[in-house]
C-alpha cells in the first residue's frame, strides 16, 4: 500500500509543479492542459507499472525497469500529446521522422520538463536538462527551434515564476 501512497504523492507534486510552470509559460492557454496533465497515469494500465517501477512495497524509492513498465511508458507517450515521442512516425520503410508539434503541446512539454525537474530534484532546471539531453530528443526542426527559443528565455525560471508584477 505504501508504494501506491508514495507514488500518488509524487504524481500530485509533479502535477502541482507543472501547473505552476503552465501559469508562467502561457496562463490562459495552458490552464486546462495543466489540470488534465498526465491524467492517464491514473489508469490501471499505467498506474500499477509505474508504482512498481519507482517504489518498493514498503514505499521506499527504487528504479526497477521491467517489460511491464516499458509498455506502460509507451502507452503514456502515445496517449499524451505533450510528449515528443507522440509526434514521431515510424514508416514501414524503417525510418522514423518527427512531425511538427503544435505550440500548445510544445508549451505543455516544457512545463512538464520544469515540473518533473522540480518534483525530482527540487530545482526548476529544464533548460539545463534539455542541454544535457537534446541529442536524444528527436524533434522536427521547427519544433526544436521553438523549444530552444522558449527555454532560452526561461533561464531564470524560478525568478520569473515567483517575481511580482506591479
Report d(CA 158, CA 123) in Å as an integer.
Answer: 8
Q: Looking at the predicted structure, is the pLDDT value of residue 166 above 80?
A: no
Total domains, the chain? 1
pLDDT at 27: 73
Q: What is the tens place of the pLDDT at every residue in 13-49?
A: 999 999 999 888 877 888 889 899 999 999 999 999 9
What 52-60 contacts at long range (C-beta under 8 Å, 24+ apart), as own/partner pairs, is 52/3, 54/7, 54/10, 55/2, 55/3, 55/4, 55/6, 55/7, 56/3, 57/2, 57/3, 58/2, 58/3, 59/2, 59/3, 59/5, 59/6
- Is residue 121 within a helix (H) or strand (E), and if so which, with residue range? helix 103-121
Res. 54: pLDDT tops 60: yes
Residue of 111, 118, 122, 119 lying closest to 154 (CA atoms): 111
Q: What is the pLDDT of residue 82?
A: 96
Answer whether residue 9 shows pLDDT above 90: yes
Instruction: Print the domain residue range for 145.
Output: 2-162
What was the pLDDT predicted at 14? 95
pLDDT at 157 over 80: no
Amino acid at each position: 500500500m505504501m508504494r501506491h501512497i508514495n507514488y500518488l504523492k509524487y504524481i500530485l507534486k509533479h502535477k502541482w509543479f507543472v501547473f505552476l510552470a503552465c501559469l508562467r509559460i502561457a496562463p490562459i492557454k495552458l490552464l486546462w492542459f495543466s489540470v488534465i496533465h498526465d491524467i492517464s497515469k491514473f489508469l490501471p494500465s499505467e498506474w500499477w507499472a509505474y508504482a512498481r517501477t519507482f517504489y518498493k512495497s514498503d514505499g521506499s524509492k527504487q528504479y526497477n525497469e521491467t517489460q511491464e513498465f516499458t509498455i506502460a511508458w509507451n502507452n503514456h507517450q502515445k496517449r499524451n500529446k505533450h510528449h515528443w515521442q507522440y509526434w514521431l512516425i515510424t514508416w514501414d520503410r524503417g525510418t522514423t521522422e518527427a512531425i511538427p508539434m503544435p505550440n500548445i503541446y510544445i508549451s505543455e512539454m516544457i512545463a512538464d520538463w520544469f515540473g518533473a525537474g522540480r518534483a525530482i530534484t527540487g530545482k526548476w532546471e529544464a533548460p539545463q536538462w534539455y542541454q544535457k539531453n537534446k541529442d536524444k530528443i528527436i524533434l522536427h526542426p521547427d519544433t526544436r527551434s521553438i523549444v530552444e527559443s522558449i527555454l532560452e528565455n526561461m533561464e531564470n525560471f524560478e525568478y520569473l515564476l515567483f517575481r511580482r508584477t506591479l
